[in-house]
A and B are shown apart, each in its own frame.
Chain A
Amino acid sequence: MSVNRSDLETGLPPVDASGLPDHLAESELRESAARERREKLRLFLTNWQGLTGLILVVLFFASAIFAPWIAPYEPNTLDVPSRLSGPTWEHLAGTDQLGRDTLSRILYGGRVALKIAAIGVSVALVTGLILGMIAGLGPRWLDSLLLLVFDTVRAFPTIVLALATVALTGPSLGMVLAIVIVTSIPQYARVARTSTLSLKNSEFILAERSLGAGMTRLLMHHVMPNVVGPLMILAAMDVPVVVTVEAGLSFLGLGVLPPTASWGTILNEGYLVIRDAPWMVIAGGIPLILTTLGFTFLGEALRDVFDPRMGKGR
């Protein structure tokens, strides 16, 4: 019997697959592919968390991409006379010390977050996928070696590693990106490796081999499509982590450089004027929270719908 988390979270009681006559359960599943896809979509859309997540994520992307069109002001235009203005109709989220519009800076800051998230997560995902498959399919010594490397990288608390690196190189967006990529590769690689290992021993890979399928074909046609799914879900859950790392480092002054607006630098500047302009740390924190909520909800909903057995939490 398996408890399906999606059912729990959609308010349905757990479905009992064995109490339910399995032949029946199967015939249900067999009904038709299209129906099943519709079913998944329905499950996803009726899951309020999934829907909320989707909306928030779309907002995240849209606001970042269209920031130049929707931002009421240029993010770096100074307007010193109206500095540290509270929220008004002219400046919905107030202004900072140089009179820059906080809302506009938040919108533009989303572009930095998007850049970090998109580049960081995709590079880490692809590298992790490749390394994980190599570890899963390669010889045992290579697997052990890669595992050891993954363990080592994971042994560094992210921020601590970032601090150590920045101590030597100085802060920059590129450095943040590099750290984010390096520290998130192991988790993708481990998931990819685990899936690859279980796939490697699965009957269908053996069946493909028995038909004469070569390594390339096995990897590209049979292993990869099955590994990518869980990794995509992981990636969705990883976006907020990455965005938060950037924000945290920028908050410490070790991330992107001014005047570039990023949520971290807004928080940093906001922290410095927290007694004069408390709205800056509040306004700067909200997109971070919403993005985290959005991707977490979306990732969990995707996982529940497509892969209810995947590991929870990290």
Chain B
Amino acid sequence: MPKDILEAPETLLDIRNLSVDFRTPRGRVKALRDISFPIRKGRIVGIVGESGSGKSTVLWALLGLLAGNGEVTGGEVRFGERDLLHAGEPQLRAIRGEEISVVFQDPMTSQIPVLTYGRQMRDILYRRPNLSTAEKRRMAVEMLGKVGIPDPDKRIDQYPHHFSGGMRQRAGIAMALLTGPQLLLADEPTTALDVTMEAQIIHLLQDLQKELDATVVVVSHNLGLIAELCDDVVVMYAGEVVEAGAVREIFHNAQHPYTRALLECDPARIDDVSRKLPVIPGDIPDLTRPLSGCIYAPRCQKALPVCRETQPPDVARGEMSLARCHLLDGPHRDPDWPPPPDVMTVGQGEASAGKPARAKRDDPLLEVSDLNVQFETVGPLRARLKGLEKRHVDAVLDVSLSVAPGETVGLVGESGSGKTTLGRTVLNLVAAQSGSVRFEGREIRNMPEGRFKPLRRDMAMMFQDPVGSLSPRKSVRALITEPFQIHGITGVDLDAEAERLAEMVRLPKPFLSRYPHELSGGQARRVGVARALALNPKLIIADEPTAGLDVSVQGEILNLMADLQAEHGLGYLIITHNLPVVRHIADRLAIMYLGRIVEEGRTAEVFARPVHPYTRALVEGVPQPDPDRRRVHVSISGEVPSLLNRPKGCDFAGRCPLAQDRCRAEKPSHVTMPDGRRHACHFPLA
């Protein structure tokens, strides 16, 4: 529960007028401009913003660890009596790790791979000469135990790559807390983790903060995490603080149009399932150019002429609570701003043409049944050497699934669930061992490429990495028209086709001559869509269509996809880990766990009444962007087991709070319920 705001705790760290530039070959990037906010003792402060907001730069600036081309151009950071921006290196070094410590975004790269945890943690304690090595080790073991690492006295002698992602982040937290710092900085602490793991880390941080009475700063783009974890929130946009305040104020009574828009764009906050998501149009401004007026003005729905010229005032509402907007104060004050929470301030694109008439259910476009895909993990020689009998893992196990024309099916799972493999197998990019894949009634599994090729005109795929899935040495024009060339389609004017497709995906014409690395994620995604659509396919398999996109722009792609579906009657198989998004666009959901589909049904029903405990964990695992709906407990613990150690019984048994002996002994088979939902659970939830 959030602490009582009226307690008015003292300020531990005060950031005043901080400005940071980066010198780049293209000029100085004014990455932070005049940032001020206090961090109050004993509280969890969230800094939220999209990519490019400069939220992480704040952290590095106050630690004095900006990259070589970064430069603090002004301001001060008061930490007790000291000014961190002007402290000498030895003084800063004394503070780092001892008084201020950090939890890093990506535990994979932020822990040195060649030293054991014991060694790394002993190094952190180097300033305690009166502690013996044994004592340091004992402290480290204790701390590892505290963050929930089993067998800490054994695992301390292991290397980072021996730990799973979640464990590694726990170890990262243990390292950060080892010295008992006053201030803990956490930079996107859960971004690299799966949903179920994220919830555990959030709770761990909460518990530890309470227990150690530390002050925590969390940097994140994830509104749900901020709402669930933080007491105070600072909203940043393009290097400025646009709004700050207590968590409830921000989430229930946002003052700045950007904060409002950001919150409205979060699919997790939108209750109605409209297939259309709100979008903030435009792009973040170029910070190498001279700036004037409100930084958000070019994208703001409520922008006034004055916004583009005059710097808006910081309107304070109480201690550490402010918003920077003309609408709130001064001559341009708008008494009707902000509107009540249920009024949308951002657009959703043009109104939907409505769902096309669905084809008959008995005539599926794609029908997958009992599909199995195996991967070889060890070579025959090595297997013999190690005495392994099983050289393969089941990446996809007995999967059955169908997609009807005009239907959107969401395939949801955490990393390693085999969902991407399934998508690729359908498109014959990965060979399957058994089962069947039928497209319009025709068996296509492992069909030779020569025969399959014509079918590729009807089935297209959008890949996870928008830029990486475009051939880097080809222009957008060549990329978009490549399908015509591949399939030897003559008699079309390729230039005209390129322009038609670009227009269809709302990609401005000048972009046709660009190369993939010159595109933003959203633009590259549009190119991917255009390529997929070039030959008027009937089925599109979209792998994480919103991956790498900010909340404010992911709607653009999804809306575009929805429009195209309405227009062409496409069937979609959307592969994603993002439940809130898929909830808005999918007709049906299939939940995958460790290569198996554990539950399948209509989206609304799955969300409302999950049958499989894993589904429930997923649904509950999404942190709600509402500080009043904080979870008090985490429904599942542990992590997705490796495919190498597939449990004998139910794959989920090891983590299921309801597991019984039967679950551990016997793999549940798929059961179709009377209402058409299917599941694989011995003891389905009511």
Binding site for B on A (CB under 8 A): 1, 7, 12-16, 18-33, 36, 39, 43, 202-204, 206-214, 217, 221-222, 225-226
Most chain A CB within 10 A, of B464, B469, B470, B521, is at: B469
Name B55's closest neighbour in chain A (CB-CB).
A21
Name B472's closest neighbour in chain A (CB-CB).
A226
- Size bracket, chain B contacts: 35 or more
Q: How far is the CA of A302 from the CA of B124 in the complex (A)?
A: 41
* Contact among A16, A23, A204, A210 with B51 in the assembled complex (CB-CB below 8 Å): A23
Residues of A contacting B483 in the complex (Cβ-Cβ under 8 angstroms): 211-212
Min CB distance, B71 to chain A, in Å?
A: 9
Residues of B contacting A206 in the complex (Cβ-Cβ under 8 angstroms): 424, 429, 463, 469
Task: Specify the main secondary structure of chain A where it touches its partner.
Answer: helix
* Contact among B67, B427, B518 with A16 in the assembled complex (CB-CB below 8 Å): B67
Q: Is the CB of B461 within 8 A of A29?
A: no
List CB contacts (< 8 Å) of B442-474 with chain A: 449, 452-453, 456-457, 460-461, 463-465, 468-474
> Can you offer 30 A-B residue contacts whose CB atoms are under 8 A?
A13-B67, A14-B68, A15-B24, A15-B25, A16-B22, A16-B67, A19-B57, A19-B60, A19-B67, A20-B70, A21-B54, A21-B238, A23-B50, A23-B284, A24-B52, A24-B286, A25-B24, A28-B26, A28-B29, A28-B288, A30-B514, A206-B463, A207-B471, A207-B531, A208-B482, A212-B457, A212-B486, A212-B487, A225-B473, A226-B472
Min CB distance, A79 to chain B, in Å?
A: 55
* Contact among A23, A202, A208, A210 with B468 in the assembled complex (CB-CB below 8 Å): A202
Q: A16-B69, A19-B56, A33-B515 are in contact. Are A204 and B456 (CB under 8 A)?
A: no
Name B461's closest neighbour in chain A (CB-CB).
A210
Q: How far is the CA of A203 from the CA of B513 in the complex (A)?
A: 22
Min CB distance, A46 to chain B, in Å?
A: 9
Most chain B CB within 10 A, of A24, A25, A29, A225, is at: A24
Residues of B contacting A210 in the complex (Cβ-Cβ under 8 angstroms): 427, 429, 456, 460-461, 463
List CB contacts (< 8 Å) of B468-523 with chain A: 468-474, 482-483, 486-487, 513-515, 517-521, 523
Q: A21-B57, A21-B239, A24-B287 are in contact. Are A211 and B51 (CB under 8 A)?
A: no
Residue B135 interfacial (CB < 8 Å): no
Q: How far is the CA of A27 from the CA of B29 in the complex (A)?
A: 12
Name B483's closest neighbour in chain A (CB-CB).
A211
Residues of A contacting B667 in the complex (Cβ-Cβ under 8 angstroms): none
Q: Is the CB of B469 within 8 A of A33?
A: no
Q: How far is the CA of A212 from the CA of B487 in the complex (A)?
A: 7
Q: Is the CB of A207 within 8 A of B461?
A: yes
Q: A15-B24, A21-B54, A23-B52 are in contact. Are A221 and B474 (CB under 8 A)?
A: yes
Residue B604 interfacial (CB < 8 Å): no
Q: A19-B67, A30-B518, A211-B486 are in contact. Are A13 and B23 (CB under 8 A)?
A: yes
* Contact among A27, A39, A221 with B25 in the assembled complex (CB-CB below 8 Å): A39
B50-87 near A? 1/0 per residue, CB < 8 Å: 11111011001000001111100000000000000000
Residue B440 interfacial (CB < 8 Å): no
Q: Is the CB of A30 within 8 A of B52?
A: no
Q: A7-B25, A24-B31, A24-B286 are in contact. Are A217 and B486 (CB under 8 A)?
A: yes
Residues of B contacting A33 in the complex (Cβ-Cβ under 8 angstroms): 513-515, 518
Q: Is the CB of B56 within 8 A of A203?
A: no
Min CB distance, A129 to chain B, in Å?
A: 15
Residues of B contacting A27 in the complex (Cβ-Cβ under 8 angstroms): 52, 283-284, 286, 520
Q: How far is the CA of A212 from the CA of B550 in the complex (A)?
A: 31
Min CB distance, A305 to chain B, in Å?
A: 11
Q: How far is the CA of A92 from the CA of B66 in the complex (A)?
A: 56
Name A229's closest neighbour in chain B (CB-CB).
B473
Min CB distance, B575 to chain A, in Å?
A: 13
Residues of B contacting A23 in the complex (Cβ-Cβ under 8 angstroms): 50-52, 284, 520, 550
Q: How far is the CA of A207 from the CA of B471 in the complex (A)?
A: 9
Name A28's closest neighbour in chain B (CB-CB).
B26
Most chain A CB within 10 A, of B25, B31, B427, B550, is at: B25
Q: A204-B469, A207-B463, A211-B482 are in contact. Are A29 and B24 (CB under 8 A)?
A: no
Q: A20-B24, A21-B31 are in contact. Are A203 and B474 (CB under 8 A)?
A: no
Q: Is the CB of A39 within 8 A of B471?
A: no
Given contacts A14-B68, A207-B528, 16 further A-B contacts (CB under 8 A): A15-B24, A15-B68, A19-B60, A23-B520, A24-B287, A28-B26, A30-B518, A30-B523, A31-B26, A31-B518, A33-B514, A207-B469, A210-B429, A212-B456, A221-B474, A226-B472
Residues of B contacting A14 in the complex (Cβ-Cβ under 8 angstroms): 67-69
Q: A21-B239, A29-B518, A30-B519 are in contact. Are A208 and B471 (CB under 8 A)?
A: yes
Min CB distance, B610 to chain A, in Å?
A: 32
Q: How far is the CA of A24 from the CA of B53 in the complex (A)?
A: 9
Name A202's closest neighbour in chain B (CB-CB).
B468
Residues of B contacting A31 in the complex (Cβ-Cβ under 8 angstroms): 26, 518
Name B550's closest neighbour in chain A (CB-CB).
A23
Min CB distance, A4 to chain B, in Å?
A: 9
Residues of A contacting B68 in the complex (Cβ-Cβ under 8 angstroms): 13-16
Q: How far is the CA of A208 from the CA of B487 in the complex (A)?
A: 12
Name B534's closest neighbour in chain A (CB-CB).
A211
Q: Is the CB of B520 within 8 A of A30?
A: yes
Min CB distance, A210 to chain B, in Å?
A: 4
Residues of B contacting A29 in the complex (Cβ-Cβ under 8 angstroms): 517-518
Min CB distance, A196 to chain B, in Å?
A: 14
Q: How far is the CA of A24 from the CA of B461 in the complex (A)?
A: 29
Q: How far is the CA of A203 from the CA of B24 in the complex (A)?
A: 30
Residues of A contacting B515 in the complex (Cβ-Cβ under 8 angstroms): 33
Q: Is the CB of A26 within 8 A of B520?
A: yes
Min CB distance, B564 to chain A, in Å?
A: 17
Most chain A CB within 10 A, of B68, B424, B473, is at: B68
* Contact among A1, A7, A39, A203 with B469 in the assembled complex (CB-CB below 8 Å): A203
Q: How far is the CA of A207 from the CA of B525 in the complex (A)?
A: 13
Min CB distance, A216 to chain B, in Å?
A: 11
Name A15's closest neighbour in chain B (CB-CB).
B69
Q: A13-B69, A16-B66 are in contact. Are A21 and B463 (CB under 8 A)?
A: no
Residues of A contacting B519 in the complex (Cβ-Cβ under 8 angstroms): 30
Q: Pick the 8 closest A-B CB pairs, nearest first.
A: A16-B67, A23-B52, A13-B68, A212-B456, A21-B52, A203-B469, A225-B473, A207-B469
Residues of B contacting A209 in the complex (Cβ-Cβ under 8 angstroms): 429
Q: Is the CB of A22 within 8 A of B52?
A: yes
Residues of A contacting B457 in the complex (Cβ-Cβ under 8 angstroms): 212
Residues of B contacting A32 in the complex (Cβ-Cβ under 8 angstroms): 514, 518
Min CB distance, B111 to chain A, in Å?
A: 15
Q: Is the CB of B449 within 8 A of A214?
A: yes
Min CB distance, B501 to chain A, in Å?
A: 13
Q: Is the CB of B25 within 8 A of A204?
A: no
* Contact among A19, A39, A211 with B456 in the assembled complex (CB-CB below 8 Å): A211
Q: A14-B67, A211-B456 are in contact. Are A20 and B29 (CB under 8 A)?
A: yes
